[in-house]
Structure 1
Amino acid sequence: MPRPMSLVLSIVAPIFLLIALGTAIGKLRLMPETTGDALTRFVFLVAVPVLLFRTVATAEFGDTSPVWLWASYFAGVAPLYALGILVGARIAGLDRRGQVIAGVSASFSNLLFVGIPIVERAFGHEGLNVLSLILAVHMPTMMAASTLLLERAAALDARGSGDGTAKASVARALAQVGRNLSRSPLAVCIALGFLWRLTGWQLAGPIDEVTRLLSQTAGPLALVALGLSLPRYRIRGALAAPLTVTALTLALQPLIVLLVGSALLPPLWLSVAVIAAASPVGVNAYLFARFFRTGESLAASTILFSTVGSAATLSLWLLAMT
């Protein structure tokens, strides 16, 4: 039996080699520039949604309540969001919208492109079952909270610039979140997976085989797509803020989840929650920054730093949890 570190490296190394392969393909221009975007769309629209549908539809969750899983995971998210906002204000000197972008950068883990592959390799199908419960509430919660905070921040920034009529609309923001989620293949397929469970039917025949084959492409293609996208996240501006946010998201967030979850969760659920919290920053931070045209350099640098740095920190967290 391999020693723990050897086992951890056997899990982590292929993950980051696939990311490096994607980066090399992009840098060497071995494929058209549009390949990365097309591959990302396939992963986001087809492969990962099918994986989540299949996982939720066939999972055995046991007797543990997911409420404690969600409580443990978001116990790490909430303070990191607040600390990220503080970093955006005190270190980066951003406007209120940019401060929220810093909060998103500190707390919105890349569960799709990194979390799914590493949990699947480390903990197998049982681990994916647990991660699917986090994913079921992760995106809706983070999207709703971030949209509301950004709406409020935009209104405050507008007032500060002399527009006294600007105000945040909670109803409008929530309606936008609802529309986005209703069109999200991830949210739709998770919901369909739970509905399938209610029927009591088994996945069988061609449906079982097609969903199995597509599910197997999700992890490798997600990692290559992530690698292809990394060169666009260039290091720009001062480094203090993105380095601070990176340290918070890779070290403090999983530590909080570990401390809280140790009292609430069985070992497998705790391990999955910690590794999910230790995943690098997701692209959503940059998408928000581009849309609101603020905090772009911080979000881009944090995505790059955290993805590269997580090669080491995820290894250490896996070692601690195995």
Structure 2
Amino acid sequence: MQALVDVILPVFLVIGFGYLAVWRNWFSDAGVNGLMKFTQNFAIPCLLFSAIAGLDLSASFDLRLVFSFYTGALSGFVLGLFGALVVFKRPIEDAVVIGFCCLFSNSVLLGLPLTERAYGPDALEANFAIIALHSPFCYGVGITVMEVVRAKGQAGPALLGRVLKAMFSNALIVGIVLGLLVNLSGIALPQVMQDGLDLMSRAALPAALFGLGGVLASYRPEGDMRLVIYICLVSLIVHPLITRGLGLMVSLPVEATRSAVLTAAMAPGVNAYIFASMYGRAMRVAATAVLVGTALTILTAWVWLGVLP
């Protein structure tokens, strides 16, 4: 119960405040759109750039961490894709979107604040190691499979260009790549620039959580609820279970295990709906999965915090 009160509820209270503000028309939809553009295109890329630029890559990029988390994520994609095709009889393009919903956990807006509140700021190194690969990996998988499906398996040499263009149109990926370049080059940022980045970074998560609540207020639980529950089951239980099992198998350190499992246990992120919108497929299901999954994370994160050492 203490973890629920001290760690989880403060994060979801900010989300709930954003939801209430938009629902009661205290904050406009246009304001939410502007706030989310600020956080997604500027503040969070600054946070990721600053964190990754200063990350100790040799200590943080543990192959066991990457293997455990991303094997779980890829398993979620496969389960979502084939579950949608075989069990729910959805068209192949819808199935790719549903697989993406099971693949893309909300590693930044939920994973970072929950991990920080549970284990402290020093516990975030493994989170940032996961996040450095998260958007490139997930968009790379989702876009590649969708483009192959749309081309009926004969995408040709233009496929790589389309995948890279779609990925590098994402400000989060740009922030990650620039942070990695600064880290690997050993460039020291001027203090005044670092201070500015720190100011932007401190605004990122609170503003993004409030904005996420506002975005969720515009969603309606209208998709196929059986399919939505299936997505939530894969995202909130199966992915972290696989990550936890593989972490034990490869003797992943406790600190990295906590970050990996808690990140894996997050609901589908808003990027799942963005991906659905890119292709105009399964948009209602994706929106409903983000809404329902985020609400269920209050309980499932509490359980996972109790299970983790």
Q: Under a length normalisation based on structure 2, what TM-score does the superposition of the two structures give?
A: 0.92
* CA displacement, residues 257-309 of structure 1 (integer Å, 9 cap, x when unaligned): 00101233111111101011001001222222223232222212211110000
Q: Which residue of 2 aligns with 1:275?
A: 262
For residues 170 and 224 of structure 2, the distance between their equivalents in structure 1, rounded to whole angstroms, comes to 35
* CA displacement, residues 139-183 of structure 1 (integer Å, 9 cap, x when unaligned): 111111111211222234xxxxxxxxxx64153232122123333
For residues 61 and 51 of structure 1, the distance between their equivalents in structure 2, rounded to whole angstroms, comes to 17
What does 1:1-322 correspond to in 2, within 5 Å? 5-61=1-57, 63=59, 65-156=61-152, 168-200=154-186, 202=188, 205-264=191-250, 265-322=252-309
The amino acid across from 1:195 in the alignment is: L
Structure 1 stretches of at least 4 aligned residues deviating more than 6 Å after TM superposition:
none
The amino acid across from 2:301 in the alignment is: L
For residues 224 and 307 of structure 2, the distance between their equivalents in structure 1, rounded to whole angstroms, comes to 33
* CA displacement, residues 14-62 of structure 1 (integer Å, 9 cap, x when unaligned): 1100110010011011122211111111111111111111111223356
The amino acid across from 2:100 in the alignment is: V
CA contact (8 A) 1:279 1:310 kept: yes
| Cα root mean square deviation, aligned | 2.0
* CA displacement, residues 95-116 of structure 1 (integer Å, 9 cap, x when unaligned): 1001111111112111122122
CA contact (8 A) 1:151 1:168 kept: no
| Worse-matched range after superposition: 180-189 or 239-248 | 180-189
Q: 1:258 to 1:75 in 2, by over 3 A?
A: same
* CA displacement, residues 236-267 of structure 1 (integer Å, 9 cap, x when unaligned): 24311111111111011101100101233111
CA contact (8 A) 2:15 2:209 kept: yes
What number of residue pairs does the alignment pair up? 308
CA contact (8 A) 1:8 1:319 kept: no
| Worse-matched range after superposition: 135-144 or 248-257 | 135-144
CA contact (8 A) 1:87 1:245 kept: no
For residues 151 and 77 of structure 1, the distance between their equivalents in structure 2, rounded to whole angstroms, comes to 20
Tell me the SS of whatever aligns to 1:127.
helix
* CA displacement, residues 184-225 of structure 1 (integer Å, 9 cap, x when unaligned): 322222222233234545556322322222111111111111
CA contact (8 A) 1:147 1:173 kept: no
**Higher gyration radius (CA):** 1
For residues 46 and 256 of structure 1, the distance between their equivalents in structure 2, rounded to whole angstroms, comes to 33
For residues 259 and 295 of structure 1, the distance between their equivalents in structure 2, rounded to whole angstroms, comes to 31
The amino acid across from 1:175 in the alignment is: G
